[in-house]
Amino acid sequence: MTDFVPTPSVAAPDIVRCAYMEIVVTDLARSRAFYVDVLGLHVTEEDENNIYLRSLEEFIHHNLVLRKGPIAAVAAFAYRVKSPAEVDAAEAYYKELGCRTERRTEGFTKGIGDSVRVEDPLGFPYEFFYNVEHVERLTQRYDLYSAGELVRLDHFNQVTPDVPKGRKYLEDLGFRVSEDIQDSDGVTYAVWMHRKQTVHDTALTGGNGPRMHHIAFATHEKHNIIQICDKMGALRISDRIERGPAGTVSPTRSTSTSWTPTATASRSTPRTTTPATPTTPSSPGTSTTTSAATGGATPWSRPGTPRPPWSWTSTATRSPSSCVRKRAKWRSPWVPTASPTPAKQKEKAPAPLNRKRASSSGRSCSHAGCEDD
């Protein structure tokens, strides 16, 4: 039986939207080559250890931070809240849940002010902030617009072993369900949840976790995604594309759980995963999205260059036929003294799936028809 996260007595913070992700990368130059040269994200600023990137229409300092570190990982899933007081609310909310919290009035990254980071009940590193440096929105910089332009951050996707538990926790936090998938027993296997007025801000997918599945950026039109595919084909990295519907994009090269050390784990990847990507077409009225891995690079982009192993931090194999990648040992970047907690969890079979839309939402979904956004 699911061990649900208790509902705090204090009000949940008023979240506006997913705002940025900070990831730790082992090779900053290779990561820059992927996110800037291939995907075309725009550099707000950079130094020898950090690169701050944003999408074309963004007006806050960044949507993605690449921070150089020893082991690839996610440092924060960051959400903007409605007012400065909501940062206080977030801190109080997670403290009541007994979660580890850290507040920094100067922020954790450049361009972001007073923030609180928490290790949430599912083990994910969440951040909440309001104050942020505004930068030029590049919407009318047609000289910068590319055929595969990523125009805004769309959503995160998180992997967690107990989706019903995660769904209830996120609903308490103020998220609402756009769509879900249930297995033959009626158990929710995946769920898409939103705060802003798009299909979702984050999604939960059943599997070994906590783990980041992907970060998704929206494009204006479907053909923008096709251009990205063409570009990756020309760079001889087309085998790193996973298409939808019925499977997206993904990453998975690394994934992690917190911005400070917590655990070491052994993980296996249940579904297809490739580092960078295009993804599913949308329903009318929604943007298309492209998801990206947690730090792909293009060292093997030149024809004839041998491909490296699939895992960043471990040996890994990839079956060309099944596209199922097996990952060996995974280590959190901050764990000085390992404490293995590799809960071996049997992946719940997703089929047959009963996907349905939340009747209260009435929203269209950019991943309609997919078995996994």
Considering only residues 221 to 260 of the shown chain, the ones binding Fe ion according to CB under 5 A are none
In the complex, the smallest distance separating the C-beta of residue 202 from Fe ion, rounded to whole angstroms, is: 9
**Residue 373 sits in the site that holds Fe ion (CB under 5 A):** yes
**Residue 216 sits in the site that holds Fe ion (CB under 5 A):** yes
Is residue 115 a contact partner of residue 19, using CB atoms and an 8 Å limit? Answer: no
Residue number with CB closer to Fe ion (213 or 325)? 213
In the complex, the smallest distance separating the C-beta of residue 180 from Fe ion, rounded to whole angstroms, is: 14
Backbone angles phi, psi at 139, to 5 degrees: -50, -40
In the complex, the smallest distance separating the C-beta of residue 95 from Fe ion, rounded to whole angstroms, is: 31
Residue number with CB closer to Fe ion (137 or 176)? 176
Stretch binding Fe ion (CB under 5 A), from 3-11, 142-150, 156-164, 340-348: 156-164
Three-state DSSP class for residue 160: strand
**Residue 18 sits in the site that holds Fe ion (CB under 5 A):** no
Residue number with CB closer to Fe ion (371 or 373)? 373
If 0-12 CB within 10 Å is exposed, 13-18 middle and 19+ buried, where does residue 37 land?
middle
Residue number with CB closer to Fe ion (157 or 258)? 157
Considering only the C-alpha atoms of the chain, give the largest distance between any 2 of them, rounded to a whole number of Å.
59
Residue number with CB closer to Fe ion (55 or 157)? 157
Three-state DSSP class for residue 356: strand
Residue number with CB closer to Fe ion (79 or 334)? 79
Stretch binding Fe ion (CB under 5 A), from 119-127, 144-152, 157-165, 292-300: 157-165
Is residue 222 a contact partner of residue 347, using CB atoms and an 8 Å limit? Answer: no
The residues that bridge with 54 in the sheet, in sequence order, are 42
Q: What torsion, rounded to 10 degrees, do the Cα atoms 85, 90, 91, 93 define?
A: 120
Residue number with CB closer to Fe ion (56 or 365)? 365
Number of chain residues interacting with Fe ion (CB under 5 A): 3
In the complex, the smallest distance separating the C-beta of residue 69 from Fe ion, rounded to whole angstroms, is: 25
In the complex, the smallest distance separating the C-beta of residue 157 from Fe ion, rounded to whole angstroms, is: 5
Is residue 94 a contact partner of residue 118, using CB atoms and an 8 Å limit? Answer: yes
DSSP symbols for 106-148? T-SSTTB-SEEEEE-TTS-EEEEE--B-B---GGG-TTT--TT
CA-CA distance, 77 to 215, in Å (whole number)?
Answer: 10
Closest residue to bound Fe ion by CB = 373
Residue span 160-199 as binding mask against Fe ion, x where in contact by CB under 5 A, dash where not: ----------------------------------------
DSSP symbols for 5-74? PPPPSSPPP-EEEEEEEEEEES-HHHHHIIIIIIS-PEEEEE-SSEEEEE-TT--BS-SEEEEE-SS-EE
Kindly tell me which residue out of 26, 31, 109, 157 binds Fe ion, with binding defined by CB under 5 A.
157
**Residues at the site binding Fe ion, with contacts judged by CB under 5 A:** 157, 216, 373
